[in-house]
Amino acid sequence: MKLSLFMMPMHAMNRDYPETLDEDVEAFKLADELGFEEGWIGEHYSSEIEQISSPLIFLAHIAAQTKNMKLGTGVVSLPIYHPAQLSSHVALLDHLTKGRLILGIGTGGLGSDFEVFDLVEADRTAMMLDSLSIMKTIWASDPPYDVEGKFWKVRLKDMIWPDLGVGPLPKTLQKPHPKLAVSVSSPNSGSIRVAAREDLMPISANFVASWVVKTHWETYCDELTKLGKTPDGANWRVARSIFVAPTDAEAEAYVKTPGGAYDWYYDYMFQVYARMGAAALLAPFADTPPETITHELVRDNFVIYGSPETVAEKILALREEVGPFETLMMTSHDWTDKAVMRRSMELLAKEVMPRVNAALDAEPFELKRAAGA
């Protein structure tokens, strides 16, 4: 199993913006040093606590400060951008990262961003697919361009001067383009059917319960079977909140500290969902009565925490429950205690994952084959 970093990011309110940006950069650099396979960064505009308005700019900044891990957008909201503009920016970033870019795409997830960009009533899924199709065409062709989409048009036929190099839109370093991914969160997500049809790597969010994540794999397999394709767990990424400490008691105390990094995060998520009238989507179990859901209940069931031995056991149990994902995405939380959070990442990389992979290596051949290994 591979280990990756996913950063929304999420920081407590009223923190100094330059300081939190420095922490985000430090977390990426640490992940690279520890051998994390990938580092992903989200995109939000109208949110003080997760204000990365451009994952492309962030990754361009971090590219020269990391050496090995792939760098992913988690995700770029395609309806916001003109595809000619975005395809050019993606091509530039793919070159700056020396081909380490993974392009995570989506429809957006923040209602206030939809309002800012006048997308509240828009068919954002259709816009995402239209934009993706246009960008693929741009990356695969030369001028003149005459691309007629449903929401955008790309035309360039008159101002083309080959002798001066005027006309061509940039192409990516990776051919035909960087690997593509999409995030999924709701039970039996329609987005994961899109992933299967469009050859996108699905990423199951960390703020949904394991029973929801299980429906993602089931839905993905169902759609691929309809398409005559074989599901492969190597394409599936599962994000989880994870905290590792030397002992179970220390880990539990930290995760359950009122107002601490994990408690605050799930209190925030619970309030957001409650205000949208969708708190039931945070149900830890499929049969959890909605009226009994609290942020503490969500926190205690969604965070994987404990000693290295305990966390390894919980990760293996999660995989057994939900399906054969091959990349675990550790979700970054606010560094309210930098030393403790750095230690958690170090323990996860150096002590937890070797235990997990030793156990997976010992699986019978039949189980590995079923997982696509």
Is beta strand 145-148 parallel, antiparallel or unpaired with respect to 153-156?
antiparallel
Return per-residue pLDDT of the chain as tens, 373 residues.
Answer: 999 999 999 999 899 999 999 999 999 999 999 999 999 999 999 999 998 999 999 999 999 999 999 999 999 999 999 999 999 999 999 999 999 999 999 999 889 999 999 999 999 999 999 999 999 999 999 999 999 999 999 999 999 999 999 999 999 999 999 999 999 999 999 999 999 999 999 999 999 999 999 999 999 999 999 999 999 999 999 999 999 999 999 999 999 999 999 999 999 999 999 998 889 889 999 999 999 999 999 999 999 999 999 999 999 999 999 999 999 999 999 998 999 999 999 999 999 999 999 999 997 755 555 555 4
Using the CB atoms, write b or e for 61-98: b if 16+ within 10 Å.
Answer: ebbeebeebbbbbbbbbbbbbebbebbbbbbebbbbbe
Tokens (6 digits) for 286: 């499929």
Is beta strand 38-41 parallel, antiparallel or unpaired with respect to 2-7?
parallel
Among residues 339, 359, 368, 328, which one has the least CA distance to residue 3?
Answer: 328
Predicted TM-score (pTM) of this structure: 0.95
Q: Structural domains in the chain?
A: 2-241+305-370 (3.20.20.30)
pLDDT for res 373: 46
Q: Within a 10 A sphere around the Cβ of 227, how many other Cβ atoms?
A: 12
Is beta strand 237-244 parallel, antiparallel or unpaired with respect to 303-306?
parallel
pLDDT for res 364: 74
Tokens 């930290």 — which residue? 254
pLDDT for res 368: 56
| Per-residue 3-state assignment (H helix, E strand, C coil) for the chain | CEEEEEECCCCCCCCCHHHHHHHHHHHHHHHHHCCCCEEEECCCCCCHHHCCCCHHHHHHHHHCCCCCCEEEECCEEHHHCCHHHHHHHHHHHHHHCCCCEEEEEECCCCHHHHHHCCCCCCCHHHHHHHHHHHHHHHHCCCCCEEEECCCCEEEECCCCEHHHCECCCCCCCCCCCCEEEEEECCCCCHHHHHHHHHCCEEEECCCCCHHHHHHHHHHHHHHHHHCCCCCCHHHCEEEEEEEECCCHHHHHHHHCCCCCHHHHHHHHHHHHHHHCCCHHHHCCCCCCCHHHCCHHHHHHHHEEEECHHHHHHHHHHHHHHHCCCCEEEEECCCCCCHHHHHHHHHHHHHHHHHHHHHHHHCCCHHHHHHCCC
